[in-house]
Chains A and B, each alone.
Chain A
């Protein structure tokens, strides 16, 4: 167990040392993955479907707040949808506008859920997001994760139905619009995932705040169980297309990831390590404020410092 804390300490030290660069690199990689996935799944506008544009926009995202990745991803999706069909573009644009106007203006910090949830679906670990957002967010994060799932299923529908939409040459604009909107809104699998994910986030975030022992572990366990049970029930009730064996395997993986996340982020280390700089009349201070829980690395360092101090005093 102590080894894991040591690894965490090393990572923490490394991250706090190169914080600005690591954050920029994280934004760049996330933007690259997101835009590449959008181009890979949709890619109807040839001009956008180029690695030069993806790299250029990702570099731009690295220098801007992380919310801009969501903005550019939304722009890419709408432009690809426009290249496929005007009706799809209108519906997708309306969906994104509604999300941002009604919800994300209140919680701009949660916007990353809109891209992290679809990415987790594509990587095959969608059940991780409700557990992680339940642990690090509030019950309202249920809406963020829910919107993330809606974004994934919208892109998925557009990607899967592209041939069908292109083939509707005889249909009027209104008929195409109606068919596409029906296909997106009446997606029962999407409904099942949105409901199950939202319930899991609410449950996990409530339980992990309870003043009980092992609240976080209990929250993860119950959250995983809730996800499985709700998705099983909803797959029957809504006649949704959910495969049960992958559901179990995915949830077990998600539980393992959530426990790993808990170890790195929550484990009794409530305070954050801070590096601050200030000055008074006599000194300039460069202070690193470290939480009180100590691992063997820090104990060794503290011991070394103490011995050195004693030696100096003896001298």
Chain B
């Protein structure tokens, strides 16, 4: 009967702790390619930004509906439309850039965590091989 190896227990404990906690999210993230993960989340963020923009615009129009109905015949509709589209592009673009930075950072962090985990796994295999050979 073999005895308990302290180093191996420590290593396995750290690995099990990682698997129980942050490892779940890291493994989920690293199931994607970096470009897929980041692109998917940037697209989702732009959809969120689009819905939010529509919501704020809707509230603004309803709030000023009387004034807008009065001015609708004198207003330059093309110029107004251009301004609204420009504002949307700036808002959604800024939001997309923030999402790109956040999700790229998250992917890199998860990748690094998994790299450390794999390193620990190799170390564990080495210890086991030494035990078997010994």
Contact = CB atoms under 8 A, between A and B. Distances in A.
Nearest to A274: B17
A274 B52 contact: no
A94 B8 CA distance: 54
A97 B55 contact: yes
A1 interface: no
Interface string B11-49: 011011100100000000000000000000000110011
Nearest to A283: B4
A105 B66 CA distance: 35
A29 interface: no
Contact of A174 (B56, B65, B95): B65
- Which of A91, A97, A106, A174 has the largest count of B CB atoms less than 10 A from its CB? A106
Given A174-B66, A282-B2, A97 B12 contact: no
Chain B interface category by residue count: 20 to 34
A132 to B, nearest CB: 22
Nearest to A181: B63
Contact of B16 (A91, A98, A278): A278
Contacts of A98: 52, 55-56
B55 A177 contact: no
A97 B52 CA distance: 8
A285 interface: yes
Contacts of A174: 62-63, 65-66
B17 A289 contact: yes
A94 B59 CA distance: 8
Given A274-B17, A276-B20, A177 B52 contact: no
- Which of A102, A278, A285 has the largest count of B CB atoms less than 10 A from its CB? A102
Given A94-B56, A98-B56, A289-B17, 13 more contacts: A94-B55, A98-B52, A98-B55, A102-B52, A105-B44, A106-B99, A174-B62, A181-B63, A274-B13, A276-B20, A278-B13, A280-B128, A285-B13
Interface of A: 91, 94, 97-98, 101-102, 105-106, 174, 177-178, 181, 274, 276-278, 280, 282-283, 285, 287, 289
The 8 closest A-B pairs by CB, nearest first: A276-B16, A101-B48, A274-B17, A278-B16, A287-B13, A101-B52, A282-B2, A289-B13
21 contacts: A94-B55, A98-B52, A101-B48, A101-B51, A102-B48, A102-B52, A102-B95, A105-B48, A177-B63, A178-B63, A181-B59, A274-B13, A274-B20, A276-B20, A277-B16, A280-B128, A282-B1, A282-B2, A283-B4, A285-B12, A287-B13
